[in-house]
Structure 1
Amino acid sequence: MTQVTERGTPLPAAPQAVAARRRSPAAAACVLGGAVAAGLGLGFLAVLVIVLWISSPYPDSGPGGALHLAAGLWLMAHGAELVRYETLSGTPAPVGLIPLLLVALPVLLMRRAARLGSASGDAAGADGDEVLPASAVFSAVTCGYLTVGALATVYAAGGPMPADPLSAAWHVPLVAVLAAAGGVWAAKGKPVGPLPDWVPGGVRKAVARPRYALALRSGAAGVLVLLGGGTLLVGASLTWHAAEVQNSFLTLTGVWSGRFAVLLLALALIPNAMVWGAAYGLGPGFALGAGAVATPLGFEGAAALPRFPLLAALPAQGPGTPVTWAAAGVPVAAGLVVGWFAVRRAREVSYGETALTAALGAVVCGLVMAGLTAAAAGPLGSRGLADFGPVWWAVGGAAAGWTLVLSVPLAVGVHAWRTRPVRSVGGGGVEDAWHDSGVRELRWEALRKAAQPLVAPAVAVPAPEPVVAVPVAVVPAEPLLPAAVVGARVLARRRPAS
């Protein structure tokens, strides 16, 4: 209801209402951006599935079934578990092994939508309107994305492989929230400032210490080394079993469209294979069905595996060999890298602080590897294929243990080497701090002092007092004599009297 004055003129609107009206177009644009991001992901998968369905010589369903399958794959890209009802036993079989490369599609689209929403809010503020806060952009983009996600979940329920509603109910919002938060954070310049005011002061002071930034950096470096080592192990195994891999790829299907689909699936599972290779090098290995586990010490049990090129590169069944034992070099390298990155260059840091930083880096490495392992594993069916992939808690514990045992001694040793006493020159006990390789900060300080301007800054000088001229008698100057005459007079003065 509009308020009016005694004369009947309307009162001006409240500032909050004006701000709300100004923010509404930008907020609506953010909601639309989130919905478009979800629609682009759905459209990409729908086009891909329709192309494969058209090129297939034996299509088992109409275009409606292909579109339902595309919606299910889009939900699967967020981590949702699909359910396969058409099985030989008649029992519904879950499909929870998520190709991690497929997850990159919704994450990139949602992150881009959040960044564009933040940029449009800043542009609106430049035109005179109020700038949308980061929380408003985040909420609007997430709302639009989740609306399309809910519709896709309902639509996929009528397809051949619908998504589990409970799994989709928390996986889709989780991916959307994380991706939107990353996009807004990147759009705001990636601020790494203090925590909000509602966080207790003691917690803010503790988190602001340099040890936590170093722990995150060292833990991330350890994770990258583990994943790189897992990639090397998988590549070496594929090369070693090249004949089996090629035979599996050619005999799986004889149609080019089917082979193209198998190739796309193998490429999407490469990040999973990297995590599995890291789990193999760490020691826990991975499960290949009920009672079948592959570790560097051996491949135990009989695995009922489907025919697939990546699975054809598994090690042979039986006890391990020196070749498989060499996989332990991957966690050793990761532990050494964590210890190296956990050392600060400042001399005033104590040994206990360095050891604590390395230990925190090992914890970070273990937590990240546990999360990646949980995302890279999942069931491929019921009964024998219910357990497929590495166990997240075992891999996370092994990663934390390996890096903790190796990183702490190395970090303390490197810190002791960098902060060792200054060497003496010639054994005379004179310290030469400039040439000591362990005191770099002292040398930089000396260089900074030497680089100061050589000319002192101008100082204001008071004006001189006026000088009174005093008359002075002028004495006529003696005419200049030649040098020879002057020399003769000097010699005459020094000649002794006869």
Structure 2
Amino acid sequence: MAVVIEMTARRRSPVPLLTRMRDRSPGLVGGLTGGALAAGLGLASFAVLVMLLWISSPYPDSGPGGAMHVAAALWLLAHGAELVRTDTLSGVPAPLGLPPLLLLALPVWLLHRAARDATDGGGGDEDHDFEEDDFEEDSEAVAGPPLVSPRVAWTGVVLGYLAVAAPAALYAAGGVLRPSWVWTGVCVPLVAVVAAGAGVWSAYGRPGRPLRRLLGLLPGGVRPLVLGPDGRPGVAARAAASGAVVLLAGGALLVVASMVGHGAATQTSFFRLTEGWSGRFAVLLLCAALVPNAAVWGAAYALGPGFALGAGHTVGPLASAPAPFLPPFPLLAAVPEAGKGAPVHWAAGVVPVVAAVVVGWTVAKGAASRERGGTKPGGTRAPVWSAGRTARAAALASLLCAAVLAGLAAMAGGPIGSAVLSRFGPVWWQVAAATLAWLGLLAIPTAVGVRAWRCRSSRAQEPKIGKQRDDAAEGARGRRRLRGHGSGWFTRTGVAGMAGVAGAAEGARGTGRAGRDAVGGDVWDLEDPGVARGTEHRGRARPDASPADGTPSPHSSDLTPDGPRAPHGPGPRDQDRETDFGLFDFLPSGPAPEPYDAEAPPGRSGPADTP
């Protein structure tokens, strides 16, 4: 007897093993791992970019160690931390605190993704006796492993991220660009806390109750305007976001228009700054990273305060002070010339005007949001806001938009050196005051006026919509009345046409029997062309088929209210009725009279009496 020895062993798929390991790992460990991985990926991305530029540079002034120090310093600068440059000509350290806002997108996205994945990891802590029940009550039930506690996932991601950020800051301190410990200790943890919290909130379905608890300090009449009862942003919040988007888009448009107008100077500065293609590529990347900053600067210019190009040198639409000596840079070449503003510069005021109109229109749309929809059939009319409440909502939206622009202005500026270069970018409180003034003066009247117009136009449309609704209801009642009386009176040609169409369809199937009529009556057998073709009313029995010679069957009968009626043979009218019909002859040519009001056709019994 032969013995078979199995020489190969089947490998188990690693997917179930990884799944079990992930499910068995505690939630805190998963959060720590995710946070550390997010920080490592961010550092690696900056290191790869800087190393590529260093390798492609024809004149590198430092070794690979110096490039890695610069990469770590840029990663910290992306979080908003201020750097200090030590290798200056004067020997005095110069600060560098103008962070490219586009670089901030990478750490925020990595933290958000890590926190969301750590929360969705499942199988974590089983005890749910924590204050984060607000997340679970508002979140929908999702099939799969249970979600990790929000506090555990958030704490793990933040601690894991900071555990990698601290050694990176220590490593960057040994390079040319050294991080400021105060700014690093504030900005990096702040970004980690906010981004990780947003990721956990997103994993739980974005519940509204935690936001309501954060907004608990606001007055009761203000909270619904900021956060709606369904957890979505309120009218004031949506209007403020719309105004901020319009201001930023308008600022970016102004920057593009200025660069096109100063195309020769922009091109010259781009080619004078460096000669190698690698250096030009680095300048192009830096300009792309500074595009959000330029949009904020353009919005500040359109609002009126403008921005500073050094201490004591402000650029605005009304007047621009002579700027100090600046390095040739494409974005700086688009700065308007020094001197008093011209009408082409004053045209930048269109941007805040459009933003104010958008804010007012959004508030008015929310104030009378269902006025038009309430007049539709089945719609529910919501109470229209008063003029005072609409004005308060517009004022709150203006205040929120001013706060957003102030925060962006504070992030988009900073020093790029000492002495004259210690102040670059817009001043946040000036931007906030200008935004509040523009929107407060224009958005509030716009909101009140548009609300009144929407209410007036809605009242003007009510009679027309009501008449259309009454006409539709009358037509529906007429159709129901016709259906309630049965199939109605048809012409002889029409009934013959219905029977002929049905008989042709059944004959094609080989049955030789007619189907039921669309109005509910039975159709007779059509083997004999001389036999009557059907009945018009429900409740009549279908007669048996007639013989081929045209003699009625002894069992043929037609039940009427007065009793059985003797069958009749084919007549001339029946033959004409069979041969002369069209496909759509059964359709009535005009409005048919009521069945009980019209006189029955000759030779045809009337409808059955209904009880």
* TM-score by shorter chain over 0.5: yes
* Residue number in structure 2 paired with 1:313: 334
* 1:313-344 CA-partner distances (Å, limit 9, x unpaired): 11111111110010000000111111011122
Indicate yes or no: 2:287 matched with 1:286: no
* Residue number in structure 2 paired with 1:354: 390
CA contact (8 A) 2:122 2:148 kept: yes
**Cα shift at 1:417:** 1.3
Identity %: 52
Name whichever structure is richer in helix by fraction: 1
Q: Secondary structure at the match of 1:83?
A: strand
* Residue number in structure 2 paired with 1:45: 46
Q: Secondary structure at the match of 1:79?
A: coil
Indicate yes or no: 2:464 matched with 1:435: yes
* 1:375-431 CA-partner distances (Å, limit 9, x unpaired): 00000100010111110110111111101110100100111112238767xxxxxxx
1:61-460 correspondence runs (5 A): 61-121=62-122, 131-193=147-209, 207-208=223-224, 213-343=234-364, 344-345=367-368, 346-420=382-456, 433-435=462-464
* Residue number in structure 2 paired with 1:469: none
**Cα shift at 1:57:** 1.8
Q: Secondary structure at the match of 1:287?
A: strand
**Distance change in 2, residues 1:278/1:87 (3 Å):** same
**Cα shift at 1:306:** 1.8
Return the alpha-carbon distance in structure 2 between the equivalents of residues 326 and 206 of structure 1: 35
* 1:51-103 CA-partner distances (Å, limit 9, x unpaired): 11111122111111111111100000000001001111111000011100011
Decide which structure has the larger Cα Rg and report it.
Answer: 2
**Distance change in 2, residues 1:412/1:198 (3 Å):** closer
**Counterpart residue type for residue 435 of structure 2:** A
Q: Secondary structure at the match of 1:420?
A: helix
**Cα shift at 1:48:** 1.0
**Cα shift at 1:266:** 0.5
**Cα shift at 1:25:** 2.3
TM-score (norm 2): 0.64
* 1:35-61 CA-partner distances (Å, limit 9, x unpaired): 000000000111111111111122111
**Cα shift at 1:271:** 0.4
**Distance change in 2, residues 1:128/1:368 (3 Å):** closer
CA contact (8 A) 2:24 2:124 kept: no
CA contact (8 A) 1:226 1:278 kept: yes
Return the alpha-carbon distance in structure 1 between the equivalents of residues 119 and 468 of structure 2: 45
Return the alpha-carbon distance in structure 1 between the equivalents of residues 292 and 69 of structure 2: 26
**Alignment length (residue pairs):** 424
Q: Secondary structure at the match of 2:209?
A: coil
Q: Higher relative contact order by CA 8 Å / sep ≥ 6: 1 or 2?
A: 1
**Cα shift at 1:127:** 10
**Counterpart residue type for residue 80 of structure 2:** G
CA contact (8 A) 2:70 2:172 kept: yes
**Counterpart residue type for residue 255 of structure 1:** G
Return the alpha-carbon distance in structure 1 between the equivalents of residues 421 and 472 of structure 2: 66
* 1:248-286 CA-partner distances (Å, limit 9, x unpaired): 011111111111111110100000000000000000000
Of stretches 232-241 and 304-313 in structure 1, the one that deviates more from structure 2 is 304-313
Of stretches 25-34 and 106-115 in structure 1, the one that deviates more from structure 2 is 25-34
Return the alpha-carbon distance in structure 1 between the equivalents of residues 30 and 251 of structure 2: 43
**Counterpart residue type for residue 240 of structure 2:** G
Structure 1 gap segments, 5+ residues each: 1-21, 425-431, 456-476, 478-498
CA RMSD of aligned residues (A): 3.2
**Distance change in 2, residues 1:339/1:51 (3 Å):** same
* Residue number in structure 2 paired with 1:31: 32
**Cα shift at 1:116:** 0.9
Structure 2 gap segments, 5+ residues each: 1-22, 127-141, 369-381, 481-562, 564-611
Q: Secondary structure at the match of 2:178?
A: coil
